[in-house]
Structures are given as C-alpha cells and as structure tokens.
Structure 1
Amino acid sequence: MKITNLLTVTIGAFFLSVATNAQKKTFQKEEFKQWAQTPPMGWNSWDCYGPTVEEHEVKANADYMAKELKKFGWEYIVVDIRWFVENDKAGGYNQTDPRYVMDQYGRYLPAVNRFPSAKDGQGFKPLADYIHKKGLKFGIHIMRGIPKKAVEDKLPIKGANGITADQVYSTALQCEWLRDNYTVVADKPGAQEYYDSIFELYAQWGVDFIKIDDLSRPYHEGEINLIRNAIDKCGRKIVLSTSPGETPIEAAPHVTTHANMWRMVDDVWDTWPHITHLMDVAQKWYPHIAPEHGQIAI
C-alpha cells in the first residue's frame, strides 16, 4: 500500500486570511511558522485517481470528509498532479501529446473538461468556495519550474516589465520523470516575478495549501527562496509542503526556515526495509523537531 500522498496533506490548522487585490497583506518573515504547528489530516487525490481526478470526484470526497471526518480533525482536500492537462490517462502521464491549459502569462489553469466550474477563467475558485463552505480547506499540487510551453511560446511574465519565459529558464536539473517544466534560474530578472504571478493567482482562487514536487531531491534552494517570497507577498496563508524526499539533512537550517512541511524520505511502501530506513533517517531529523515543523515522514 502506498501511503505517501495521504499523509503529505496532514498539516496543521491555521486561521484563514483573505486579502483583497487592492490591499494585500505581506507576512512577516517568521509568521508562516504558525500556519502548521500540529500534525494535520487531509485527503489527496493521487492514490486513487493519479493525474486524472475530476471535479465531481473531488467534491464527493469533500462531502464525505465534511460529514464523517471533519469532527475528528480532518480538513484538507488537495487536488494532486497535472490538473491542467486535458488528456492524461489512468496509470500514467501522457507525455507524448499532452494538451496543457494555461493563460497568457504562462500560468497553468484547471482543465475545464475535468473541472467544469473553472470555465470562463474562474480557475479553481468555484471549487475552493465549495470546499470552504463545508468548513474545509483547499490545496493543489504543482511541479517546480516554468512550463516548457510558456518558454517555447515566449509568453510574457506578469509584472516583469517585458521579460518573457524564455529569459528565466534553464534545462539544467529538469525533472527526470515528468518533463512539463524547466528550471527557473533564481537570479534571473523575472524569476521572482514568475513565482509571484502564480501565487497571486492561487491566492485569488482561495488555495490554502500547496504541495510542490521535484523540489527536495536534489534540494533546489534558489527556487524555494522564490516560492517562500511569493507566498509571503501573496496576501493569503498558503502552507508550503516540499516534495519528494529524501530532503538532505544538510538542508535542515534552510528548509526549517522556508517551508512548513518537507519530505524526510522517498515514498514508503509496506516493506520492512522501507520502515527501517525511515527509522534511521528519523534519528537524523530528531534535533529539528519543533511545533512549527510539520515534517512529512514518508
């Protein structure tokens, strides 16, 4: 049994903060540490649906959680990987001829054939509203980097004074198992603006939690800095979970000051070597246990 994604969304409760576009709140440097202080509980679409989950399935799980599990502390509903692709198939990613959905600034949007309420440019806001009305919180998954399609089409980066996607990317350290994105070079002009632009969008949608893949192994400190800055400026408390493991213990001083949650190891399966390895790794992380560290142990 694969248990990775169920627990990757077990994050602590925090108070919801909504800022208007006209007056966004900028969070203090250490304020984000208050957003996930206890081991949280939630549901993630990956284990049952892979990259193919649809809106009605997300709502059905939210309905069940609100009715049966909310009273026990379960609160997060998270749409996992590739919600912006129209033609993924069960059992794997379509990397042959994927049909991406994105806006004029190279920001992925929900595929309307899977999430009908996203029509007319509404994005995930209607779905997030549905979940919030049940007293739950809403999260999404993204991959590190900038879409290859945005680079190929030289799409402008919002707020970057004419800088386009092809001016901030690198093919170095591109994800090996999913080739949708390129690396964002952290010190390039426009790099921060790109991450600012996507988190501005997520804040408008009402996102409360984000899981970002291909970020921890190898440890992409530059992009994590961009992400932390973008969240702090977006005006909404969005819990940051980095994935996948094994996060290097040498990165502990950085990850504990830039993320709410992080992976200690790779996927854990029901085999004894995986469990004993987790025990060994957990000992290294023991000195870094703290109320504001929602470490992910799987």
Structure 2
Amino acid sequence: MKKTNLLAMLIGTFFLSVVSTAQTKPFQKEEFKQWAQTPPMGWNSWDCYGPTVEEHEVKANADYMAKELKKFGWEYVVVDIRWFVENDKAGGYNQTDPRYVIDQYGRYLPAVNRFPSAKDGQGFKPLADYIHRKGLKFGIHIMRGIPKKAVEEKMPIKGANGITADQVYSTALQCEWLRDNYTVVADKPGAQEYYNSIFELYAQWGVDFIKIDDLSRPYHEGEINLIRNAIDHCGRKIVLSTSPGETPISAAQHVTTHANMWRMVDDVWDTWPHITHLMDVAQKWYPYISPGTWPDCDMIPLGRISIRGERGNDRMTRLTKDEQYTLITFFNIFKSPLFFGGDLPSNDAFTLSLLTNKEVVKMHNESTAVKQLFQKDGKIAVTSKNAKDGSVYLALFNISDKESQKVSVNLSELGISGAAEVLNMWTGKKSKIASKEIGADLKPHSSVLYQLKSKN
C-alpha cells in the first residue's frame, strides 16, 4: 500500500474517532427542549404512501421542500412506518409473510429494494446525507419495543454483556394493530442497552427526528424513559415525537419533560368529524403549549393523499376549501407541529398557498399565550399574542353543520381598548375597527384569521 493511502486511512480513522467521541457526550437534563424552540415543520410519507414509500419518492418530496418551502421554515423530511419490510402493501400492512431486514443485534435496517442507497449496510446515511445537503433535516418512524424476530432468534443486544433479546421482552401490552415487536420491560437488564443501541445506529445515520408509535395509548412511561435516556446519550440532537393519541392528560407532566411533541388524537384524515374531534380534545392541552414541547394535531391531510395510503384511493383531499382553511388555521394558531401529509410535488397552487403565507408562518413561530376564549354552540375563538410586534391574533370558527353564524369577540378580551388596525391574514385585506367587538359572519365549517394592532 502506498504511504499516501496509509496516511489518508490513518487521518480518516482519527477523524471518525474524534467525531464518535464528540457524539457520545450525554446531553444535560431537559436540554432537548432547546432542539425545537418553535414547532417543527416538515413532510411525512404516511398519508400518501402508507408503509410502502420508496427512496425516489422521499427524494422528490425533499427536492420540492428545498425549492418551495424551506424559506418558510419547513425542514423535516420523515420516512414513516415499516421502512424495514421488503414486501409491505398499501391499504393496511402485510402481517402474513413480512420480510424483515434486520442486523445481528436485532436492529431494523432499510429494505434495499425500496431504498437502494442503503446497500452494503449503509442504512439511511446516504439518504440522510442527500437531505442534509439541501439544508433540510431527516427523520424516521419506528414502533416501540423490540422485534419479535430478534426475540425468537435470541439475538444479542449490543453493549449488554451477553444479554439477548429474549431476556428483555414481554408479550404484555403488545401493539394491537401491528405485531412486529414485543414490549421492552423497562427494568430488565439489557433494556436500556437495547434502546441505546438503536439510537447509536440512528445517530450514525444522521437522523434528526424520530416518530415512535404505540407509545401514547396506553401511555408507556417505562419505555418513554428508556427512549429519552437513549436519545440524550447518543450525542445527536434528535427531536422526539410520541404517537399516536390520545395521550392521556394525566400524563401531561411526564410527556412534557420527555418528548418534544406528542399526539393528542389518533390519525386525522380528510373528513370533517376528524377536525371537530381534534378541536374538542385540544381544549385540555392549551396550558401545555410551550417552547420545546408541543401538543401535536397530527399530520396535515391536504393536497394529494393516499397514493398508496392506508385509507381510500389516490385522491386530492376531500375537505372543501373552507374546511382546509379551518384545519390549517387551527393547526397554526394552536402552534401544533406542522407535518404535511400529501405528496408535495403534486401540490396545486391553492395547497401551496396554505403552506407559504408569511404572516401565518410568523404567527406560528413567534406567537405566545395561546388560549381558547370559548367553544359553544358551534362557535370557537382562539387567540394568541406576538410580543415582538405587539400584535394580537384571533381565529374564529363556525364548526356547525347547517347554519351561518356570526362569531365575535369583545376587544377587551384581547387586551385592546379603542381603535385597532386589522389584517385578514389569509386574504391580505386590511381594515380599521373602532367598535368594542370584532367578528365575522361565517358559513358552516368556515373560519377567519385576524391580526390586530392597537392604535393607542
């Protein structure tokens, strides 16, 4: 071997050693809250591709995000469920004869027939590198627990001194709707090491975001503790999203100290009852909206969805334009994380406009003191403030099914006395108001979003 090649190898080995050492430094308690000071924004493959998304589709959505959305704050590209199954299917899951891809330590690997760049044991690193080069961030979905295959084959747990997968599992509380994994018993020797091992792998891949399923209903406090510890010790800033809902309000204190975002409800699809149910459940979560820890409204089922999805056929969202405005207005004023579920390259101009309104994005990022003023008789009012420019935001909703209604708020409830300048944030129309209240006549399922600035 030439001396120059040997020197290059030695330098490379030293560099990797330095990087590895730096990446294993544990984070301080609750430092993770600094990783998502504003609600995360991105794209998730679930609504349009279910468990069948392929690498070229992920890249196409990343390309679109970099070109059209990045400048508005959208940055995460997330590969959802079962990326480790070679032969999954649309409209559900293949639980008859799934072909898992897994390494010798019981850790799932991307299926190369769907993610060709994962060949030769590279995992998701090449795909993550592609996304990072665009100035974006990369995320994945996993199920809680340890693979059944690892248990059945008694695979060793990396770093656990001879402990094998069959020594840390339980069949109790196994996920009811997807049977790939068993529960990890949190106090078993080797349990923490298993979670440490998978997050060590994800950190090596360059994962920035992880959505973990079957954690919240019922609430698996023990495994969430293991996951939080594993992330904090992997040395990489990985945003943690627990899923799905409904996360019990009794777990609010725990989840806000362990997760960056958590689901309030089960999957939100493109039907009106899903939206009204979300608004109803969200009422109890307003007090927990805080930098670094966010109640999560779920993915945004707009644009083109279910190309190979779980529910229904390939379609543009079934929600009317009024209902789409209502959904996106609520997600934004509530300061939910925003994860678009449709296929981004298929967006029409209207769908794109819902994601790129500068004033709405500013509200989503900068507003504080979010609270619901009332929800009664099909009328909802939600407000927040922007301490940077002194403005007040107000969203009014008519969620009734049959009749138009005037929805109004007294300006005193918004802390405004006297005249105010008003901006309709979706139309861009400006006006002035000198009366004691502000309101709008709203059709069923419609809404309005205002920014108010006091002239006093």
Same fold (TM over 0.5): yes
Shift of 1:179: 0.2
Q: Is the 8 A contact 2:23 2:236 kept in 1?
A: no
Aligned equivalents of 1:131, 1:139: Cα separation in 2: 10
Structure 2 CA distance for partners of 1:259 and 1:132, relative to 1, 3 Å: same
Structure 2 CA distance for partners of 1:3 and 1:281, relative to 1, 3 Å: farther
Aligned equivalents of 2:247, 2:4: Cα separation in 1: 15
TM value normalised by structure 2: 0.59
Q: Is the 8 A contact 1:209 1:239 kept in 2?
A: yes
Aligned equivalents of 1:273, 1:2: Cα separation in 2: 69
State how many pairs are aligned: 295
Shift of 1:20: 2.1
Structure 2 CA distance for partners of 1:12 and 1:161, relative to 1, 3 Å: closer
Shift of 1:161: 0.4
Structure 2 CA distance for partners of 1:165 and 1:200, relative to 1, 3 Å: same
Q: Is the 8 A contact 2:87 2:99 kept in 1?
A: yes
- 268-277 vs 134-143, which moves further: 268-277
- 256-265 vs 85-94, which moves further: 85-94
Where structure 1 has 5 or more consecutive residues not aligned to the other structure, the ranges are: none
**Which structure would you say has the larger Rg?**
2
Cα-to-partner distance string for 1:263-295 (whole Å, 9 max, x where unaligned): 01122234444333323322211222212xxx9
Shift of 1:39: 2.1
Cα-to-partner distance string for 1:17-57 (whole Å, 9 max, x where unaligned): 99525652210011001111212211111111111111111
- 158-167 vs 280-289, which moves further: 280-289
Cα-to-partner distance string for 1:223-262 (whole Å, 9 max, x where unaligned): 0000000000001000000000000000001000000000
Cα-to-partner distance string for 1:184-240 (whole Å, 9 max, x where unaligned): 000000000000000000000000000000000000000000000000000100000
Where structure 2 has 5 or more consecutive residues not aligned to the other structure, the ranges are: 292-452
Q: Is the 8 A contact 1:52 1:88 kept in 2?
A: yes
Shift of 1:133: 0.3
Q: Is the 8 A contact 2:23 2:234 kept in 1?
A: no
Q: Is the 8 A contact 1:151 1:166 kept in 2?
A: yes
Runs of 4+ more than 4 Å apart: 1-19, 295-298
TM value normalised by structure 1: 0.89
More strand by share: 2
Shift of 1:11: 37
What's the secondary structure of 2:40's corresponding residue? coil
Q: Is the 8 A contact 1:52 1:83 kept in 2?
A: yes
Q: Is the 8 A contact 1:12 1:38 kept in 2?
A: no
Aligned equivalents of 2:113, 2:132: Cα separation in 1: 23
Aligned residues: CA RMSD: 10.5
Shift of 1:69: 1.0
- 97-106 vs 32-41, which moves further: 32-41
Task: Verify: 1:297 aligned to 2:455, yes or no.
Answer: yes
What's the secondary structure of 1:22's corresponding residue? helix
Structure 2 CA distance for partners of 1:199 and 1:117, relative to 1, 3 Å: same
Task: Verify: 1:108 aligned to 2:108, yes or no.
Answer: yes
Aligned equivalents of 2:90, 2:35: Cα separation in 1: 34
Shift of 1:16: 17
Aligned equivalents of 1:297, 1:268: Cα separation in 2: 40
Q: Is the 8 A contact 1:14 1:36 kept in 2?
A: no
Structure 2 CA distance for partners of 1:265 and 1:175, relative to 1, 3 Å: same
Q: Is the 8 A contact 2:156 2:163 kept in 1?
A: yes
- 240-249 vs 282-291, which moves further: 282-291
- 185-194 vs 70-79, which moves further: 70-79
